[in-house]
């Protein structure tokens, strides 16, 4: 077993560390408040200067850095006010670095930016811009200028305040955030590991983030891992898979004796699976256009590189056996859960399996008898646009009031230690040499020149980090030792009875009390609304997205304190149901005026299936069939979302 460990920089002073964790990554006590820096106009020039282009320094460029973009203007040999590629949006930048020449007689310093602009076919492609700072006579002065630009750009990317009239130096930068990456190598038709190596790790390294990476090996492995972590050593836990791996992480955090602090650990998701609902919501929150596949992964990776977090509502779900689990996504019964579980047989098809099973489900459409009760929200959700008017459920029946273990510490199993990650740059020529520049190998701490560069002689440029590592500080010294051993199982049951497929589903014994819910099987308090009848589907969803391209609750927010109940009554035709799901791709299904589609925002709900057989899912995972109830816990978790987007800003 092992870990892929990135190069690490030593922690800076406690004050600087706290600054970065609070502003850039949101890892702070909930009672503290921090005022953001005063907003700057989008066109406010922050830095302006002249640089040489690399590898052709005779091409002179004027650079202007604003809060939203880097503007590049060609000065010589032929001035161009708006050259091609002359506008670099910060939303498309993963990171930057400074480099120096291996030629001791070269007094220039180099400033490199990594970007992922959209191409003509709308897909993102990597582009690297390298500029030569050569306006001063000495290397030290040119290095200071290159680092000034790199520091300012990094501060803008991470949301760190820049001094008003003060000097911009690398001392403004705290040590890099340390992320634990958990990847399911079998996710996304087995492409998750390849996508991780080829796309995610290079981008995280370009951003200067520090990371350790672990491959999961089995169901509930991630849950076991986070139970035994020393969470103070991590600034975030990021899953590279579908929604299921994050479900394990959150429930593992809530399994811990210190769950109240553990659940504040920021968690993130990079979509490398079939079901990528939360990633779709993060993508929308970041202001990007809807995307799938690699494009969605690159969008979410760009947002992760920028840092920033958001409170995340979690749903405590109590099942028929009395066990609890926590949901960040949805509880489903009927058509949606049937499609979700039946599609497991077609995992090799990737996300197309949901389309196939939707068609099969429409061909054999079922209705289910049940009783749905909910506690209406006291505060109305943010009103959707007129096109998304929501039909309100009418109260049909209001019930009368009635009287009122040790944690398993699992080792971190397989390691993939010292995995080489070659990251080729575009073919560039070094000054005075016909040889191409070397490939860059990014292992988390910043760009490093690959040892197997095929050029003649030494590599032309070498890294010149903004925050250098202290000599004699091994990477492993920053982490607690990891002890091998078989995971222990508490005497009390942590797992539900096996599902029909034979796999146990883990549930969480920890977490906050459900103060809005009486025990299952007892009457509900006053103020609840109860509906009984035939349902085609019932969906209780927290974020906006049911899938990467399915917007089930277009007005939902990560921290609105609501569970959004959507249900379809019996009597709907197959054509009308298909029309609803097609409209859901744009979040416009409520505007169709379908009489069987109902919606209600709630703080808690109870579902009592009256049909003897059926399927219930929590975050896409099948759970025991029977009555269940759930309550929203507002802002219980913390989600790494990146900065919010005000609109779709892409060309």
Which positions are catalytic?
243
CB 555 within 8 A of CB 384: yes
Calculate the alpha carbon distances from 61 to 5, 71, 316, 468 in Å. Answer: 38, 10, 56, 29
Beta carbons within 10 angstroms of residue 352's beta carbon: 13
Please name the residue that has the structure tokens 């040889």: 435
Among candidates 278, 280, 271, 289, which has minimal Cα distance to 312? Answer: 278
Q: Which H or E run contains 236?
A: strand 236-241
CB 269 within 8 A of CB 236: no
Please name the residue that has the structure tokens 């609070």: 22
List, in sequence order, the alpha helices (H) in 486-619. 574-584
Q: 359-386 burial, b for 16+ CB within 10 Å, e for fewer? A: eebbeeebbbebbbbbbbbeeebeebee
Please name the residue that has the structure tokens 């009031």: 401
Task: Please state the three-class secondary structure of 582-630 as a single string.
Answer: HHHCCCCHHHHCCCCEEEEEEEEEEEEECCCCCCEEECCEEECCCCEEE
Q: Any idea what DSSP says for residue 161?
A: P
Rounded Cα distance, 458 and 210, in Å:
27
User: Is 42 strand, coil or helix?
Assistant: coil
Among candidates 431, 311, 613, 321, which has minimal Cα distance to 58? Answer: 431
Across 242-289, the runs of DSSP E, i.e. the strands, are: 267-271
Q: Any idea what DSSP says for residue 287?
A: T
Across 272-358, the runs of DSSP E, i.e. the strands, are: 309-318, 324-327, 330-334
CB 47 within 8 A of CB 162: no
Please name the residue that has the structure tokens 């004796």: 257
> What's the CA angle centered on 62, arms 58 and 65, to 5 degrees?
140
Rounded Cα distance, 368 and 370, in Å:
6
């Amino acid at each position: 077993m092992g870990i892929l460990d990135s190069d690490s920089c030593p922690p800076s002073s406690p004050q600087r560390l706290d600054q970065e964790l609070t502003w850039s990554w949101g890892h702070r006590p909930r009672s503290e408040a921090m005022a953001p820096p005063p907003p700057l106009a989008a066109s406010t020039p922050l830095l302006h200067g002249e640089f040489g282009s690399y590898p052709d320094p005779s091409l002179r460029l004027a650079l202007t850095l604003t809060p939203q973009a880097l503007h590049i203007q060609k000065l010589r040999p032929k001035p161009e006010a708006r050259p091609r590629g002359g506008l670099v949006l910060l939303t498309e930048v993963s990171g930057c670095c400074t480099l120096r020449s291996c030629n001791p007689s070269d007094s220039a310093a180099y400033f490199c930016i990594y970007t992922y602009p959209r191409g003509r076919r709308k897909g993102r492609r990597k582009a690297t811009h390298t500029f030569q700072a050569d306006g001063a006579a000495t290397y030290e002065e040119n290095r200071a200028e290159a680092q000034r630009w790199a520091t300012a750009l990094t501060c803008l990317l991470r949301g760190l305040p820049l001094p008003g009239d003060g000097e911009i130096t690398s001392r403004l930068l705290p040590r890099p955030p340390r992320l634990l990456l958990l990847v399911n190598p079998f996710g996304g038709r087995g492409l998750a590991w390849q996508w991780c190596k080829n796309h995610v790790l290079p981008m995280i390294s370009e951003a200067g983030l520090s990371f350790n990476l672990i491959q999961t090996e089995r169901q509930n492995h991630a849950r076991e891992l986070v139970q035994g972590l020393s969470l103070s050593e991590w600034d975030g836990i990021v899953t590279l898979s579908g929604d299921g791996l994050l479900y394990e992480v959150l429930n593992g955090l809530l399994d811990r004796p210190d769950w109240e602090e553990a659940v504040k650990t920021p968690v993130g998701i990079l979509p490398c699976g079939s079901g990528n609902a939360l990633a779709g919501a993060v993508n929308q929150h970041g202001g990007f256009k809807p995307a799938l596949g690699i494009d969605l992964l690159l969008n979410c990776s760009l947002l992760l590189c920028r840092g920033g977090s958001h409170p995340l509502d979690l749903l405590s779900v109590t099942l028929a056996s009395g066990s609890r689990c926590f949901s960040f996504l949805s509880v489903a019964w009927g058509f949606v859960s049937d499609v979700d579980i039946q599609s497991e047989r077609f995992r090799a098809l990737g996300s197309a399996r949901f389309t196939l099973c939707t068609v099969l489900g429409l061909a054999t459409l079922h209705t289910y008898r049940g009783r749905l009760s909910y506690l209406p929200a006291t505060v109305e959700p943010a009103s959707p646009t007129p096109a998304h008017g929501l039909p309100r459920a009418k109260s049909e029946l209001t019930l009368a009031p009635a009287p009122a273990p040790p944690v398993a510490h699992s080792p971190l199993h397989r390691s993939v230690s010292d995995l080489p990650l070659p990251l080729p740059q575009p073919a560039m020529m070094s000054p005075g040499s016909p040889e191409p520049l070397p490939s860059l190998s990014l292992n988390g701490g910043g760009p490093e020149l690959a040892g197997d560069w095929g050029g003649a002689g030494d590599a032309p440029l070498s890294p010149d980090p903004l925050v250098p590592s202290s000599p004699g500080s091994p990477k492993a010294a920053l982490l607690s030792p990891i002890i091998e051993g078989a995971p222990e199982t508490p005497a009390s049951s942590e797992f539900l009875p096996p599902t029909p497929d034979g796999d146990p589903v883990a549930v969480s014994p920890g977490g906050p009390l459900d103060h809005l819910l009486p025990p299952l099987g007892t009457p509900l308090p006053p103020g609840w609304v109860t509906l009984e009848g035939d349902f085609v589907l019932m969906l209780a969803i927290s974020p906006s997205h049911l899938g990467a391209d399915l917007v089930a609750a277009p007005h939902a927010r990560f921290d609105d304190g609501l569970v959004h109940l959507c249900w379809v009554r019996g009597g709907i035709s197959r054509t009308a149901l298909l029309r609803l799901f097609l409209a859901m791709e744009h979040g416009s299904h409520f505007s169709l005026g379908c009489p069987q589609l109902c919606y209600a925002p709630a703080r808690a709900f109870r579902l009592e299936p009256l049909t003897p057989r059926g399927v219930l899912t929590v975050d896409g995972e099948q759970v025991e069939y029977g009555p269940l109830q759930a309550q929203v816990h507002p802002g219980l978790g913390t989600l790494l979302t990146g900065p919010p987007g005000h609109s779709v800003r892409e060309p």
